[in-house]
Structures are given as C-alpha cells and as structure tokens.
C-alpha cells in the first residue's frame, strides 16, 4: 500500500526543487486518509455518532480523492494548494468546534510549517496570520466567559503567532536562497565537467555521453549522421617552433573555425590534445566527406594566427547496432589511413571499417 503513496515521479528526481514537496504531500495524504478512515469506523461502529461519521467519511473522500488525483497528474502546485486548504480548514474547523478548549489551540502551530513549505512565504504568512487571529479570538471569548484565563494568554498567543510567522519566513527565505545558490553552483560545476577549458567546446566525456544518447535514439538511422575525427598534422612542430602558448592559440582559433564552417553540426568536441570530433546530423557520407574536404582545403590554403598547417580527417556514418566505441573505431581507422597517406587528407570508412575513399580521389563525391 505504501508504494501507492511513495510513488516516484520521474519528473521530480531527488535533486529537483519540488522533490520534498511531493514527499510532504504524499505523507500528509497518507496520514489524513488513515486518520479519517479510523475516525469514520470508530464513529460508525463504536460511538454510533452517525453525523460525525458522515463528516469523517467526507474528509476521507476528499483526502483519498486528492491522493489518487495527485498520483495521476503529479501536479505539485495544485496538490500543494489542495493539501494546504484541507489541513488548514480541518484544523480550524476542529479548533472552532471545540471553542478553543482542551488545549486544542496547539493544533494551530502546525499551520505555519505546512503552509510555508507547501504554498510559500506570502501565502504561508497569510494562512498563519488568519489561523492565529481565529485562535486569539477564541481565547478572547474564553476570557469573556471565565476569569481563569487572563489577558496574558491572549498576548502569549499573539506573540507565539508572530514569532512563528517571522521564523518560518526567515527559514523559507534561507532555504530558498540556499537552493538557488546550490543550483547555480551545480550548473557551474556541470559546465566545468563538460567543457574543454581552452576552446570552450565539449570535452571527450561529454561528447561520448551525447553520442551514446544519440545512438540510443531509435530514429537516428532514419536520417544519416556522420562522425568526423579531425586531427591537426604535426602539431608538435607548431609547439616546438612557436611555443605552447601559440599552440594553444591555434587550437582555440581552429575550434572557432570548426564551429563556423561545419554546417548541420549536432556536436563538436575537443576529443584530445589536437584531436576534434564532430557529429553532422542529416548528412550523408558523400555530403559529410565533401564538407570535411572543404574544411581540409580551407585550412591548407589559409594561415591561422599567421601559422600555416594542415589537417587530416577520418569519417564514418552511424550504422544500425552501432556503439560509441565501434563508431569511433571506424572513424579512427579512416583517420589513421589519412595520416599514413601523407596527411592533409580525408578518408572515409564503410560499415566494416574498410577505408573506401580518400580526398586525393574524392573530388567532392565518393564512388
């Protein structure tokens, strides 16, 4: 039975800001439903108070109704209001019905923690103020009827009510600001973990993850996707000749050129030192090879930060039943061939890792 209340909502994972609200709603509904069920049965069969049993049955109906509806829709905002209104009206109805006697006013102290947490600071303050005002009025009425309760009781209630509202406002504010800071920090950490610091592109870890997600999609085979591994030729020479800082600058500028010149890119990453990976979506092998060769020519014919260099590219398309490793291996085989063919070269692998074309005889299309 508990699994009914403790249903995990995929849209509210543990780190979601509403996760604990869903828990409080579920717990509250569990307790109120059980509570009303027991009261209905007791009043029906033990005390024979049929009218009160009817009211309890109505409470049971409301509580169970919200519970079923919440489990179906997972609408936290509406459920928060429904539970808040149910609990506030229950407590107030009870306190008023017994005229505030039998220390029933203590029940009102439950209202701030519930309302602040479920409907926020402003509505929490309003609900709490109304509840404590009603309690104060009941104490005032008692004071009119008997001399045993002095004005001190009234003041105590007002002071406690105010203190509750102020403390819960403070508590909710600090909770909210802590959550906001934590969320921003998490985003910053996530960005750092996924990004290559030098070029601002995705890093290898993020690329591999995104690629595995892409491959897992059922419709990735309906339109062709190309993977390019692009490597700067003899990059060590650039470092040795001009120094590492210039080498860094070349990598940064090259990353910008990649982003600018590769049409339809779905993902670009710095995969390792001077190695870059690119996924081109909606791109056939022919079109991918053409784009890769255009890039190769552009780099060969221009200088970047006044340094002339060339690149080699290996290419493969995503096949049915591919894995990240298999796909990368095919593109890497093609890159290896491009390097072995003297560099400044584009090579393409077919689905069996056989290199089927290279830029010296690409001429814009693959035979």
Ligand X SMILES: Nc1nc2c(ncn2[C@@H]2O[C@H](COP(=O)(O)OP(=O)(O)OP(=O)(O)O)[C@@H](O)[C@H]2O)c(=O)[nH]1
Candidate list 247, 304, 309, 335; residue touching ligand X; CB under 6 A: 247
Distances (CA, A) of 187 to 101, 131, 183, 225, 288: 52, 40, 6, 29, 33
List residues bridging with 232 in a β-sheet: 311
* Count of residues in the chain: 367
Q: How far is the CB of 352 from ligand X (least distance, A)?
A: 25
Kindly state the DSSP code that residue 44 receives in the 8-state scheme.
I
Q: Select 173 or 236, whichever has its Cβ closest to ligand X.
A: 236
Candidate list 232, 278, 315, 316; residue touching ligand X; CB under 6 A: 232
Pairing of strands 307-308, 303-304: antiparallel
Do 21 and 117 form a contact (C-beta atoms < 8 A)? yes
List residues bridging with 202 in a β-sheet: 195, 269
Candidate list 167, 182, 198, 300; residue touching ligand X; CB under 6 A: 198
Candidate list 114, 131, 172, 233; residue touching ligand X; CB under 6 A: 233
Compute the Cα dihedral for 85, 90, 95, 99 and give only its sign. positive
Distance of alpha carbon 246 from alpha carbon 37, whole angstroms: 76
Based on the shown chain and the rule CB under 6 A, indicate whether residue 196 belongs to the binding site for ligand X.
no
Candidate list 34, 155, 248, 364; residue touching ligand X; CB under 6 A: 248
Distance of alpha carbon 240 from alpha carbon 266, whole angstroms: 34
Q: Interface with ligand X by CB under 6 A: which range of 9-17, 38-46, 232-240, 322-330? A: 232-240
Binders in 54-93 for ligand X, by CB under 6 A: none
Question: What is the per-residue burial (b if ≥16 Cβ within 10 Å, else e) of 309-318?
Answer: bbbbbbbbbb
| DSSP secondary structure letters along 287-314 | HHHHHHHHHHHHHHHSEETTEE--EEEE
Binders in 261-280 for ligand X, by CB under 6 A: 273-274
Based on the shown chain and the rule CB under 6 A, indicate whether residue 200 belongs to the binding site for ligand X.
no
Q: Select 173 or 244, whichever has its Cβ closest to ligand X.
A: 244
Based on the shown chain and the rule CB under 6 A, indicate whether residue 322 belongs to the binding site for ligand X.
no
Based on the shown chain and the rule CB under 6 A, indicate whether residue 239 belongs to the binding site for ligand X.
yes
Based on the shown chain and the rule CB under 6 A, indicate whether residue 235 belongs to the binding site for ligand X.
yes
- Decide if 274 is catalytic: yes
Q: How far is the CB of 350 from ligand X (least distance, A)?
A: 24
Q: Interface with ligand X by CB under 6 A: which range of 18-26, 233-241, 285-293, 323-331? A: 233-241
Based on the shown chain and the rule CB under 6 A, indicate whether residue 351 belongs to the binding site for ligand X.
no
Based on the shown chain and the rule CB under 6 A, indicate whether residue 314 belongs to the binding site for ligand X.
no
Q: Select 78 or 308, whichever has its Cβ closest to ligand X.
A: 308
Q: How far is the CB of 240 from ligand X (least distance, A)?
A: 8
Candidate list 195, 339, 341, 353; residue touching ligand X; CB under 6 A: 339
- As given in the structure block, the two tokens for residue 358 are 């290279």
Q: Interface with ligand X by CB under 6 A: which range of 153-161, 163-171, 200-208, 225-233? A: 225-233
The active-site residue out of 172, 188, 274, 275 is 274
| DSSP secondary structure letters along 235-287 | HHHHHHHH-HHHHHHHHHHHHHHHHHH-TTEEEEEEEETTEEEEEETT--HHH
346 three-state secondary structure? strand
Candidate list 5, 32, 100, 231; residue touching ligand X; CB under 6 A: 231
- As given in the structure block, the two tokens for residue 206 are 């993020």
Residues touching ligand X, count (CB under 6 A):
16
Which positions are catalytic?
274
Chain contacts with ligand X (rule: CB under 6 A): 198, 231-236, 239, 244, 247-248, 251, 273-274, 339, 343
């Amino acid at each position: 039975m508990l699994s009914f209340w403790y249903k995990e909502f995929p849209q509210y994972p543990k780190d979601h800001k509403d996760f604990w609200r869903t828990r409080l709603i579920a717990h509250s509904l569990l307790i109120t439903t059980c509570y009303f069920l027991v009261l209905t049965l007791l009043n029906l069969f033990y005390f024979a108070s049929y009218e009160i049993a009817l009211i309890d049955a109505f409470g049971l109906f409301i509580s169970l109704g919200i519970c079923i509806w919440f489990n179906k829709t997972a609408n936290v905002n509406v459920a928060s209001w429904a539970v808040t209104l149910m609990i506030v009206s229950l407590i107030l109805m009870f306190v008023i019905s017994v005229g505030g006697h039998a220390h029933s006013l203590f029940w009102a102290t439950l209202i701030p923690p519930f309302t602040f947490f479920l409907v926020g600071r402003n509505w929490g303050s309003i609900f709490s103020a109304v509840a404590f005002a009603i309690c104060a009025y009941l104490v005032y009425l008692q004071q009119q009827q008997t001399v045993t309760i002095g004005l001190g009781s009234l003041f105590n209630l007002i002071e406690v009510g105010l203190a509750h509202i102020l403390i819960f406002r403070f508590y909710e504010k600090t909770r909210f600001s802590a959550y906001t800071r934590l969320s921003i920090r998490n985003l910053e950490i996530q960005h750092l973990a996924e990004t290559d610091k030098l070029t601002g592109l995705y890093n290898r870890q993020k690329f591999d993850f995104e690629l595995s997600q892409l491959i897992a999609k059922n419709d990735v085979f309906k339109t062709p996707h190309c993977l390019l591994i692009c490597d700067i030729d003899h990059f060590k020479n650039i470092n040795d000749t001009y120094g590492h800082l210039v080498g860094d600058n070349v990598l940064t500028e090259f990353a910008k050129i990649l982003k600018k010149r590769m049409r339809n890119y779905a993902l670009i990453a710095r995969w390792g030192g001077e190695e870059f990976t690119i996924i081109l979506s909606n791109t056939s092998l022919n079109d991918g090879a053409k784009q890769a060769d255009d890039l190769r020519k552009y780099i060969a014919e221009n200088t970047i930060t006044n340094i002339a260099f060339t690149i080699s590219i290996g290419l493969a398309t995503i096949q049915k039943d591919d894995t990240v490793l298999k796909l990368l291996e095919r593109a890497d085989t093609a890159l290896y061939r491009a390097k072995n063919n003297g560099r400044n070269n584009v090579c393409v692998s077919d689905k069996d890792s056989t290199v089927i074309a290279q830029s010296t005889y690409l001429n814009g299309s693959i035979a």
